[in-house]
Structure 1
Amino acid sequence: MPRLHRSLPPPGARRPCALTIGNFDGVHRGHQAILAHVREAALARDLAPSVMTFAPHPREYFALLAHRPELAPTRISGLRDKMAALAASGIEQVILQRFDARLAEMSAQDFIARLLVQGLDVRWLLVGEDFRYGHRRSGDIALLRDAGARHGFEVATLADVTDADGHRVSSSEVRNALAVGDLERAARLLGRPYQISGHVTHGRKLGRELGYPTLNLRVTPRCAARSGIYVVRVHGLGEHALPAVASLGVRPTVEDDGRVLLEVHVLDARMDAYGKLVRIEFLQHLRDEEKFPDLHALTEAIELDARNARAYFAVHGL
């Protein structure tokens, strides 16, 4: 995993770096192209390949500030999955910068001087061609290049990455695909199946009583994936992936607290997995979440879901 700094690294931990800046939600194919350039530039210049990202997402911060939470973007991935994807792209250092009133009101010049120059010792910077920063997004590429000439860092830009149809690969497109359960399109945009990882927690054990014990995982708030029933693969419980069926949602038949949970039933296997870190790969959306009149109707639906999942694996394999 990359080294995670939840604020600017202290002077003793500061390394001259090649940096890119963004939210990197999902770390999709467009992000991966950016990160490949950062890695190559860092290697050529003996710098630390680094990413600065923000928590919360700036759009979430301003949505909540305006009392319009519905305008906050959903989240493709939690921090653990984001860090794993950044590690797979060769990033060694991640700065998780808190996006708050101080940062929102910081001038573009101070953003460069305090964060990039003094805080991170940036020597090479890659941003998108439309990158804006500072109070009211007043900073642009021209200001960055001028500051780079004065402070000794290079500035490079990268055009958007597009898919086979010429459409921009973006986190918004991934969110749109996940919102309608289009896992094939999400996987094409991400360059891998959509996945959620987490530690298995104790639940109410209702699934065990119904004959379908589940692995329970907490889900990042405002998860971008559509609520419903999925065919999934489970990694982390053995040498090979395991076939499973999963429910992502609020469990309206048995709960009313509105909390989203991922429940995974591994097909034809029983095991003690509490506390283990697992990774769930989403393969196919079977149906939307429903509220059933009673537990008997719920059990019948689960039986059908398990049969449909087995049919999927019989055709596609693991």
Structure 2
Amino acid sequence: MGASCSTSGATSAAAPDVITTAAGQKFERIPPAEDGGKIVVALGKFDAMHRGHAELARRASKMGAPILMSFGGMAEVLGWEEKLPVVAPGDRARVLEMWKAACEGKTVREHVIPFADIRRMSPEEFVSTLKDIGVGGVVAGANYRFGFKAAGTADILKDLGEKLGVDVSIVDLLPANEPGDEGVYPAGYENTPQVSSTRVRACLAAGDVEQAARLLGRNHALVLRIAGAGNDGRFPTSAATNQYPAIGRYAAIVVGADGGRTPTTAEVTDGEIVLEGWGETNGGNDDANVCVEFVGPAADA
């Protein structure tokens, strides 16, 4: 698949090893690292996979075998509005591969625990469960909260790590603003001072793909399902597998399944995403998805 951002990242795996905690709950044990190293989890939502998340992975790699640990089904459990993810599910493996060089050449894995299974745990029960499933170290941002009703703080996490024999490292938040980055965002979006998934979403909603790229550490990539699209490069917005930017015209790059990169203009309308010239040359993509990186405003925008 080369460098295509439509890579699924799916791999076959053996049946999971399931453990039962003292409270009687069942969890999958994290598979051991190939090198037998200590398993170190970075805690977070990891929706945007931005520079702050990459720093958590880098810190974890210095302590052992890095894993991004997130908690699935939060929106459903908490009654939040379902949103398209910032990073397409099939694009996450490509982003993790991009981080590998900064992570001492180590492969960064992902492990998802159902949020419903841990939401009512006390902070100590949560950290104890992490240890039970094989975790030897934890990395979290300075603003990380955990446990029932978010009772756990970074300081509590450090104390519990010392008590339970789990190494803990807390990472300072990365500042987001560069000159000109104090832009106006749509109602309902927070202009956070730190790099955050919320801020990335706000930039995309405002059509500021250049600032989004600075927060992500790479161009924002949109993965579109080809099924149902016309041969003229017109895709319904329902074909998007992740968040697309605001209505507008953008300089973009179609990333082929063979790694080829074809400059194009992408126009987002109220119901369509149009890739100019895509019907003539589809950039070497397979028959499932097309991947588009957004670079900035189109020259004629």
TM-score, normalised relative to structure 2: 0.71
Aligned residue for 2:228, secondary structure, equals coil
For the pair 1:99 / 2:120, whether they are aligned, the reply is no
Q: 1:279 aligned to 288, 291, 294, which one?
A: 291
1:32 maps to: 54
More helix by share: 1
Closer, same or farther: CA 263–31 of 1 in aligned 2, 3 Å: same
1:257 maps to: none
1:55 maps to: 72
The one-letter code matched in structure 2 to 1:219 is: A
* 1-10 or 261-270: bigger deviation: 1-10
Deviation at 1:239, TM superposition (A): 5.4
Q: Distance in 2 between matches of 1:19 and 1:239?
A: 31
Closer, same or farther: CA 106–98 of 1 in aligned 2, 3 Å: same
Contact 2:222–2:244 (CA under 8 A) maintained in structure 1:
no
Q: Distance in 1 between matches of 2:99 and 2:245?
A: 23
Structure 1's consecutive aligned runs of 4 or more residues displaced over 6 angstroms after TM superposition are: 2-9
Deviation at 1:99, TM superposition (A): 2.2
Aligned residue for 1:161, secondary structure, equals coil
1:75 maps to: 85
Aligned residue for 1:122, secondary structure, equals coil
Aligned residue for 1:233, secondary structure, equals strand
Q: Distance in 2 between matches of 1:52 and 1:4?
A: 20
Closer, same or farther: CA 123–133 of 1 in aligned 2, 3 Å: same
1:269 maps to: 280
Q: Distance in 2 between matches of 1:184 and 1:245?
A: 15
Aligned residue for 1:125, secondary structure, equals strand
Q: How does 1:220-259 map to 2 (within 5 A)?
A: 220=241, 223=243, 225-236=245-256, 238=258, 240-248=260-268, 251=271
Deviation at 1:184, TM superposition (A): 1.3
2:216 maps to: 190
Closer, same or farther: CA 215–148 of 1 in aligned 2, 3 Å: same
Identity %: 22
Which 5+ residue runs of structure 1 have no aligned equivalent? 43-47, 252-260, 287-307, 313-318
For the pair 1:20 / 2:46, whether they are aligned, the reply is no
2:99 maps to: 89
Q: 1:134 aligned to 147, 154, 169, which one?
A: 147
Deviation at 1:141, TM superposition (A): 3.0
The one-letter code matched in structure 2 to 1:95 is: H
The one-letter code matched in structure 1 to 2:54 is: Q
Closer, same or farther: CA 11–170 of 1 in aligned 2, 3 Å: closer
Aligned residue for 2:160, secondary structure, equals helix
Closer, same or farther: CA 23–10 of 1 in aligned 2, 3 Å: closer
Deviation at 1:276, TM superposition (A): 4.5
Deviation at 1:4, TM superposition (A): 9.6
Query: Residues 45-100 of structure 1: CA distance to partner in whole angstroms, max 9, x if unpaired?
Result: xxx211101223x4664243xxxx3xx66632222223322232234321122223
Deviation at 1:214, TM superposition (A): 4.2
Structure with more relative contact order (C-alpha pairs < 8 Å, separation 6 or more): 2
Deviation at 1:145, TM superposition (A): 2.7
Contact 1:244–1:264 (CA under 8 A) maintained in structure 2:
yes
The one-letter code matched in structure 1 to 2:113 is: Q
Contact 2:141–2:154 (CA under 8 A) maintained in structure 1:
no
Q: How many residues align?
A: 258
Closer, same or farther: CA 237–79 of 1 in aligned 2, 3 Å: closer
Which 5+ residue runs of structure 2 have no aligned equivalent? 1-8, 19-26, 101-106, 180-192
For the pair 1:158 / 2:174, whether they are aligned, the reply is no
Aligned residue for 1:13, secondary structure, equals coil
Q: Distance in 2 between matches of 1:262 and 1:4?
A: 34
Q: Distance in 2 between matches of 1:279 and 1:131?
A: 32
Q: How does 1:287-298 map to 2 (within 5 A)?
A: none
For the pair 1:219 / 2:240, whether they are aligned, the reply is yes
1:171 maps to: 197
2:5 maps to: none
Q: Distance in 1 between matches of 2:12 and 2:172?
A: 27
